[in-house]
C-alpha cells in the first residue's frame, strides 16, 4: 500500500457509493408514521453509537494497525466531520424511533476539540416520556485524567476505557506506539471514578499476544472495584488480518478465571446488553465477557452506528452505510430525517455473527467490511 493512501472503509469507491446511498427525504416520509420502530427480525433501535472523529493517538493492531494507518495516512478533513449541531439534530431524529442510550466514540473521541460541549448538548435531550438519555463515552483513556472533570460537568454518565495489558512493554507493543503507559490510563480511570462516573474497562483478548494478561487484569480491576469486560477478538473490518485461531473463547477465559476466583452469573440488566455478566462471590464487583465469535447475540442487537462523516450503519460488520450527512445539509425536516432512518431500520435483517458461526466458508472468505476505527466498534 502506498504512503498516504486512504483505506476505503466500505465497499466500492466511497464517494460514488455514498452518493448512490443518499435517500430521498420526501419519498421516505410518504406513508410513514413516527414512533418506535423494529427491524425485519423484530429488533428495536435503542442504542446509538456516534463516532466524532476517525483519528486516534494509538495504533492498536485489531483496530488501526500502524502498517496501514501510517503517519501519512489521509484522515477525514475537518469539514467532512459532522458538526456538534448536526449530531444533535441527528440524535433528535432518532429519539422518536426508540433511542434511549448514546455512546460517543471515535477513533479516539477525546481528540475531538471541545467534545464536552457535544456531551452538554446531548445531556439536555429527553425521550418522549421526558426522561434523560443515557450518555456514555468510549476512550483509550490516555487523555481521560485531564478531561474527566469537564466531561462530568457536561453531563456524561458513563465511561468505558479500552486497556489490553498492564505491562508497559506489552501495552506499547499492542498500541503500536513508543510512548504512553498503562499508569496514564489507570489514572484516567481513577479520576473518572472519583468524580462519580460509572467506569468499565474493555480488554480485547488475543491468543499468544495478551491472553497471559487475563488473570493480572482480572485481579487488578477486581481490587479497584471496576467492571472489566473480556472481549473475544473480532473480525471487524479487514485491516486487522483476523484469524479464528487468534480467538480466545469466552469459555476458555471463564475457565482461566475459575482457577483463581469464585464467581457466579448475573442476569443482564437489559435484554439487549451484549455482555454476559458475572459477580465475584467475595465482593460486589462484576466482570463480563463479550462473545461475538463463539456466542453471537445478533438476535438481540439493537444498536445503530453513525460514522464521523454521517453514514448510518446497521451492523458492526456492515460493508456499506447510508449517507445522512447529505440529508442533514439539505433542507430536510427532522420528521423527514426520522422517516428515512425508520425506513432503513425497518428493512434491517443483519445477523453477520450468527451467519459466520453457521458457515465455515465465511471464516476463509472474509467480505470487505467497515473498519472499527471508522465507526468506533
Work out the mean pLDDT of the chain and round it to a whole number.
87
User: Mean pLDDT throughout 345-372?
Assistant: 70
Q: Indicate if the alpha-carbon torsion angle 71, 74, 80, 82 is positive or negative.
A: negative
User: Mean pLDDT throughout 108-129?
Assistant: 97
With 80 as the cut, is the pLDDT of residue 268 above it? yes
For 121-169, what is each residue's pLDDT tens digit?
Answer: 999 999 999 999 999 999 999 999 999 999 999 999 999 999 999 999 9
- Grid coordinates in use for 63? 483496530
For 74-109, what is each residue's pLDDT tens digit?
Answer: 999 999 999 999 999 999 999 999 999 999 999 999
With 60 as the cut, is the pLDDT of residue 2 above it? no
Are the beta carbons of 124 and 103 closer than 8 angstroms? no
- DSSP H or E run through 14: helix 14-20
Are the beta carbons of 226 and 200 closer than 8 angstroms? yes
Q: Which residues of 338-368 are buried (b: 16+ CB within 10 A; e: fewer)?
A: bbbbbbbbeebebbbbeebbeeeeeeeeeee
For 288-339, what is each residue's pLDDT tens digit?
Answer: 999 988 888 788 899 999 999 999 999 887 788 999 999 999 988 999 999 9
pLDDT at 307: 94
Residues in the chain: 377
Are the beta carbons of 269 and 286 closer than 8 angstroms? no
Helices (H) and strands (E) in the chain, counts: 14, 12
DSSP-assigned letters across all residues of 62-110: TTS-TTTS-TT--PPPGGGSPPHHHHHHHHHHHGGGT--EEEEESS-GG
* Distance separating alpha carbons of residues 14 and 11, to the nearest angstrom: 7
- Grid coordinates in use for 66? 500502524
pLDDT tier at 8, thresholds 50, 70, 90: very low
- DSSP H or E run through 153: helix 144-154
Are the beta carbons of 216 and 228 closer than 8 angstroms? no
- Gyration radius of the chain over CA positions: 20
pLDDT at 22: 60
Query: Which range (1-15, 265-279, 335-349) has the least confidence?
Result: 1-15
pLDDT at 371: 74
Q: Indicate if the alpha-carbon torsion angle 156, 162, 167, 170 is positive or negative.
A: negative
- DSSP H or E run through 228: strand 227-232
Position with higher pLDDT, 364 vs 274: 274
Q: At 222, phi and psi to the nearest 5?
A: -65, -45
For 165-215, what is each residue's pLDDT tens digit?
Answer: 999 999 999 999 999 999 999 999 999 999 999 999 999 999 999 999 999
pLDDT at 239: 65
User: Mean pLDDT throughout 265-282?
Assistant: 90
For 23-59, what is each residue's pLDDT tens digit?
Answer: 655 554 554 566 899 999 999 999 999 999 999 999 9
* Distance separating alpha carbons of residues 223 and 148, to the nearest angstrom: 22
pLDDT at 13: 32
- DSSP H or E run through 341: helix 334-346
Q: At what angle do helices 84-94 and 115-123 cross, to 10 degrees?
A: 30
Position with higher pLDDT, 196 vs 271: 196
pLDDT at 308: 95
For 60-77, what is each residue's pLDDT tens digit?
Answer: 888 888 998 998 999 999
* Distance separating alpha carbons of residues 261 and 370, to the nearest angstrom: 38
Amino acid at each position: 500500500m502506498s504512503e498516504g493512501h486512504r483505506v476505503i472503509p466500505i465497499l466500492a469507491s466511497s464517494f460514488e457509493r455514498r452518493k448512490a446511498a443518499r435517500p430521498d427525504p420526501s419519498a421516505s416520509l410518504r406513508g410513514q408514521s413516527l414512533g418506535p420502530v423494529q427491524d425485519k427480525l423484530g429488533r428495536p433501535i435503542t442504542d446509538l453509537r456516534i463516532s466524532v472523529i476517525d483519528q486516534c493517538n494509538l495504533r492498536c493492531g485489531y483496530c488501526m494497525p500502524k502498517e496501514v494507518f501510517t503517519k501519512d495516512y489521509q484522515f477525514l478533513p475537518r469539514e467532512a466531520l459532522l458538526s456538534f449541531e448536526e449530531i444533535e439534530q441527528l440524535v433528535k431524529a432518532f429519539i422518536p424511533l426508540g433511542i434511549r442510550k448514546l455512546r460517543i466514540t471515535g477513533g479516539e473521541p477525546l481528540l475531538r476539540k471541545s467534545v464536552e460541549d457535544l456531551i452538554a448538548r446531548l445531556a439536555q435531550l429527553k425521550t418522549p416520556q421526558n426522561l434523560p438519555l443515557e450518555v456514555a463515552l468510549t476512550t483509550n483513556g490516555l487523555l481521560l485524567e485531564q478531561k474527566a472533570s469537564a466531561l462530568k460537568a457536561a453531563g456524561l454518565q458513563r465511561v468505558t476505557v479500552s486497556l489490553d495489558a498492564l505491562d508497559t512493554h506489552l501495552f506499547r507493543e499492542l498500541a503500536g506506539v513508543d510512548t504512553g503507559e498503562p499508569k496514564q490510563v489507570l489514572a484516567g480511570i481513577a479520576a473518572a471514578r472519583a468524580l462519580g462516573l460509572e467506569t468499565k474497562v474493555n480488554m480485547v483478548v488475543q491468543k499468544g499476544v495478551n491472553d497471559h494478561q487475563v488473570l493480572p487484569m482480572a485481579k487488578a480491576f477486581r481490587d479497584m472495584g471496576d467492571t472489566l469486560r473480556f472481549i473475544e477478538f473480532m473480525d471487524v473490518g479487514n485491516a486487522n488480518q483476523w484469524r479464528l485461531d487468534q480467538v480466545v473463547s469466552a469459555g476458555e477465559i471463564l475457565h482461566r478465571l475459575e482457577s483463581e476466583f469464585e464467581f457466579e452469573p448475573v442476569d443482564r440488566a437489559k435484554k439487549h446488553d451484549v455482555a454476559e455478566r458475572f459477580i465475584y462471590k467475595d465482593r460486589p464487583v462484576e466482570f463480563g465477557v463479550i462473545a461475538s465469535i463463539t456466542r453471537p447475540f445478533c438476535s438481540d442487537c439493537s444498536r445503530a452506528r453513525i460514522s464521523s462523516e454521517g453514514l448510518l450503519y446497521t451492523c458492526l460488520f456492515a460493508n456499506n452505510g447510508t449517507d445522512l450527512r447529505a440529508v442533514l445539509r439539505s433542507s430536510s425536516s427532522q420528521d423527514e430525517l426520522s422517516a428515512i432512518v425508520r425506513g432503513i431500520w425497518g428493512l434491517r435483517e443483519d445477523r453477520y455473527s450468527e451467519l459466520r458461526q453457521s458457515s465455515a466458508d465465511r471464516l476463509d472468505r472474509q467480505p470487505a467490511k467497515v473498519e472499527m476505527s471508522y465507526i468506533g466498534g
